[in-house]
Amino acid sequence: MAKAVTKDPVHIDPGYKMPDLVALSRALVDAYTKAVPIYEEYLEKHGSPEAMEAFLNRDLDPLNIRESYLAFLDSIVTDPTKFFELQAEFVQQWATLWHESLMKFMGQGGKTIIEPEAGDRRFRAPEWHESALFDFIKQSYLLTCRWMDRTVRDTEGMDPKQKEKLAFATKLFANAISPTNFILTNPEVLNETLKTGGENLVKGFENLIEDMERGHGELKISTTDYDTFELGKNVAVTPGRVVFENDLMQLLQYSPSTKTVFETPLLIIPPWINKYYILDLRPENSFIAWAVSQGHTVFTISWVNPGPELALKRFEDYMNEGVLAALTQIEEITGQASTNVIGYCLGGTLLACTLAYLTARKKDSRVASATFLTTLLDFEKAGDLKLFADEEQIEQIDRKMHEKGILEGRDMQQTFSLLRANDLIWSFVVNNYLMGKEPFPFDLLYWNDDCTNMPAAMHSFYLRKMYQENALIRPGAVTMMDVPVDLGTIKTAAFFLSTREDHIAPWKATYDGLRRLGGPITLTLAASGHIAGVINPPEKKKYCYWDNSAIPDDPDQWLEKAVQHDGSWWPRWQKWIKDFGGKKIPARKPAKGIEAAPGRYVRMKI
């Protein structure tokens, strides 16, 4: 049944505000005055012949799409039949859309040809459904996007990797040209402009200038109200002490909130691509605070935000000076020779390497159990991030890191933003610059913007060995401190948490990896994505999770027979970890140590 559609293109408030031209011109002049020094700073930084050459040779095509596009054109020329079939189908669909839209314009109903995908929040305004004009704009855009995607994906004769890269670039282009991103084709922006007399656009221009100032001449889009949050005040506030530090990390021990605790302590290894406090945002959604409340003596690693002086730090240094050093300190502090360990994302990849190393050195008893949160071990199906790790792009990254000794955190942040461009880029372009509004205070996005650098040696190794060569699954292809890594030798009991909508560590890719281990495996699949699926406290009563004690070869078979449970996976993990916790003992209070949590390292800005 078609939805009712009006003939009015947009609902206009008859009492809309006339623009104050004097005030608007004064605001524009003020914004322009602020923009001039920013423009001069940008030219000073990027206007040299060397910078322009780098832009033309590298930055103009950061995804290295040129080769894939040429292969696509060659495939069309070689066999144009499929292309013309899709073209003819597209023309027919357009004709149908035009006919049905005319019916709607005349108030005679009309069928809907295409709807946005579930979860697409760009077209929530009622005008996209109720106005015949905006409904036509929406559907014509969606038809074009579908045609572009199918044209790439259905083209035969292309290398699969080239096809995936071109499909990703096509999606980025389609996101960029969405009608929601432009003033005259976004009904919400038009309404706001009429309601405010254009003040939203002036305020949006001011927001743009402020974001250019934050980026020192480059656009750094604000995604939250940064003044709302402060480390140690309303995020990363779980009480504790820094009990050890070296060049790479600080070790935090948290104060108990129960009278007794499990004998076996718990160590958390966060990824060093981001800061650890994703697991300790606010008290109501802090996994660390919750684990403390469940009777664990919790330690976590807070990685340093490295500068050029740490350029030569290697992946194995993160194991030796990070995980192994932490285990040694925990043993000295608690007297326990064995520790339960959690590794999150890249921290889980490092945990697997550490377990293989300890097994080869016959010291695997140092880890009582291993928990892997959204962790890749087999990188064959590593998702869209793998598109950024071909030889040409790694060489570009290596050149950039050679100049500075690090991969700057904002480069990594931009890559992650591209993976979810509508949510992390274009939604804020519309909100901040077209609607002229301030972004909503959101602790998760505050953390997301608090990015970190990567040491050159470590990151080059990680990209080549993991994403490009997928070497970790081949026994001996990766070594840690001259010891060959063999995942199959790991017998430590492991709990794997994957998330069904993960775009960084796709759950089927994590499934392929967990099957490489040689010990008992417990798998839980949570709803939502890489962050929200993990940070899901029980009190929120959100999402759900699936479990299945069997681990068949096919992940789809696992899911088909898995049992769905409402709510958070945290209590499920707690039930599992109890078997490795040992007896209950009086709670351990951290020593005075070096300083109070969250410590200095997490406060380091790039």
Query: Residues with catalytic annotation?
Result: 345
Measured between alpha carbons, how far apart are the two ends of the chain, in Å?
55
Q: What contacts 24+ positions apart, CB below 8 Å, involve 443-447? A: 443/229, 443/235, 443/281, 443/282, 443/285, 444/278, 444/281, 444/531, 444/532, 444/535, 445/223, 445/224, 446/224, 446/226, 446/228, 446/229, 446/235, 447/235, 447/274, 447/275, 447/277, 447/278, 447/281
| DSSP classification of residue 591 | P
Would you call 367 exposed, middle or buried from its count of C-beta atoms within 10 A (0-12, 13-18, 19+)? buried
Torsion angles phi and psi, residue 401, rounded to 5: -70, -35
The count of other CB atoms within 10 Å of the CB of residue 488 is: 13
Q: Say if CB 120 and CB 93 are below 8 A apart.
A: no
Give the helix ranges, DSSP H, for 340-408.
Answer: 346-360, 391-404
Under 8 Å between Cβ of 251 and 243: yes
Q: 10 Å Cβ neighbour count for 107? A: 12
Per-residue tokens: 164: 């995936």
**CA dist., res. 38 & res. 306, Å (int):** 28
C-alpha–C-alpha distance, residues 76 and 82, integer Å: 8
